[in-house]
């Protein structure tokens, strides 16, 4: 496991702590839960993680791994990350689709719970970061930049304070954006990110690597507080354009705020099927991105709805949304 920890540090620039799982904890696990894996505990970015190294690679299937993750999470209440060398591409894709965290030493690190999705391939003179989709911190950083209507620059430390994240997160954002030639990293100490393009040109460059921020959807009959929620979906689109709103009204909230509200009992009447209000739980907080009062920002709204509706009126409204955006 020390070899794996070194690989992750060398390949992705991330230091991790790993140690064998306490034998007493291992002994209390049912055989079917610990079957086929060596288990280790540790931390990544200060977050407790259970590392599961597969013994028999021939038995790897996305379905089996998904079930084993659920079983291990149930017993340990920690993020579970599989260590899986030499994955076939279709298995790798299915694991990402099902949000199963894994590390493939020397190639890919995918931990959606920590917004980590990094790939490495050998390249002349070192390693080159390969980005298929931007992480949500990087996406929210770009969208907030586009919504500012002016160039936003500063040292890594200044940017970290501005968007309320760690210096490590800013460094990962910078590496992702640099790999797509969206920014250049200049200076020594302190380093700065400089965008290679602005406005509509930046959006067009970044758009193929952006995705819907919606993590999950809930319904409720409770009146929602305007201090925590903003209008989203068709409700926001109808406010921005001439399209009519439809039932139920749609609101958005960041996943951390939503979790805090559920844990504190501020929102209790929730279900997955119907209600007066539809709640979109986002990977990032719509309130921290510059937006228009009471509405999610136009660009994030576009990402949540593009490709979802077949209604030509909705498609036209979305194009109008972009057209009227202040680039």
* Model confidence pLDDT, tens digit, residues 166-175: 777 888 888 8
pLDDT digits (tens, 9 = 90+) for 51-90: 888 876 666 778 888 888 888 888 888 899 888 877 777 7
- The total of other beta-carbon atoms located within 10 Å of residue 236's CB is 29
- The total of other beta-carbon atoms located within 10 Å of residue 80's CB is 24
Task: Concatenate the DSSP letters of all residues of 179-200 into one string.
Answer: HTTSEEEE-SSS-EEEESS-HH
pLDDT digits (tens, 9 = 90+) for 266-311: 888 999 999 999 999 999 999 888 777 899 999 999 999 997 877 8
Ranges of beta strands (E only) in the chain are: 16-20, 37-44, 47-54, 79-83, 102-104, 108-111, 116-123, 126-130, 183-186, 192-195, 214-220, 230-231, 249-254, 277-282
| Contact in structure between 218 and 294 (CB atoms under 8 Å) | no
Look-up of token digits 């040292």: 155
More confidently predicted of 25 and 125: 25
Which range among 105-119, 155-169, 308-322 shows the weakest confidence by mean pLDDT? 155-169
| Contact in structure between 9 and 16 (CB atoms under 8 Å) | yes
More confidently predicted of 41 and 122: 41
pLDDT digits (tens, 9 = 90+) for 88-98: 777 888 888 88
């Amino acid at each position: 496991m020390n070899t794996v920890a070194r690989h992750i540090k060398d390949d992705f620039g991330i230091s991790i702590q790993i140690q064998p799982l306490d034998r007493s904890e291992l002994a209390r696990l049912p055989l079917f839960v610990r079957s086929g894996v060596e288990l280790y505990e540790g931390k990544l970015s200060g977050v407790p993680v259970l590392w599961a190294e597969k013994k028999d690679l021939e038995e790897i299937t996305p379905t089996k791994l998904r079930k084993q993750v659920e079983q291990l999470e149930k017993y340990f209440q920690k993020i579970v990350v599989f260590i899986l060398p030499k994955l076939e591409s279709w298995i790798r894709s299915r694991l990402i689709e099902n949000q199963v965290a894994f590390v493939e030493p020397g190639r890919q690190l995918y931990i959606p719970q920590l917004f980590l999705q990094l790939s490495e391939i050998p390249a002349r003179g070192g390693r080159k970061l390969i980005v298929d989709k931007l992480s949500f911190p990087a996406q929210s950083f770009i969208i907030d930049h586009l919504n500012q209507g002016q160039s936003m620059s500063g040292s890594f430390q200044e940017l970290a304070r501005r968007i309320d994240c760690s210096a490590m997160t800013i460094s990962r954002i910078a590496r992702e954006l640099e790999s797509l030639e969206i920014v250049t990293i200049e200076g020594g100490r302190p380093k700065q990110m400089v965008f290679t393009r602005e406005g509509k040109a930046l959006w067009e460059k970044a758009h193929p690597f952006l995705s819907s921020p919606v993590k999950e959807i809930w319904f409720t009959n409770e009146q929602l507080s305007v201090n925590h929620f903003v209008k989203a979906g068709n409700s926001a689109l109808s406010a921005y354009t001439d399209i009519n709103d439809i039932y139920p009204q749609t609101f958005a909230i960041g996943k951390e705020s939503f979790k805090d509200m559920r844990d504190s009992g501020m929102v209790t009447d929730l279900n997955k099927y119907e209600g007066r209000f539809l709640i979109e739980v986002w990977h990032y907080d719509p309130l921290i991105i510059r937006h228009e009062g009471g509405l999610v920002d136009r660009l994030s709204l576009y990402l949540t709805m593009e490709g979802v509706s077949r209604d030509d009126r909705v498609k036209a409204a979305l194009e109008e949304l972009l057209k009227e955006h202040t680039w």
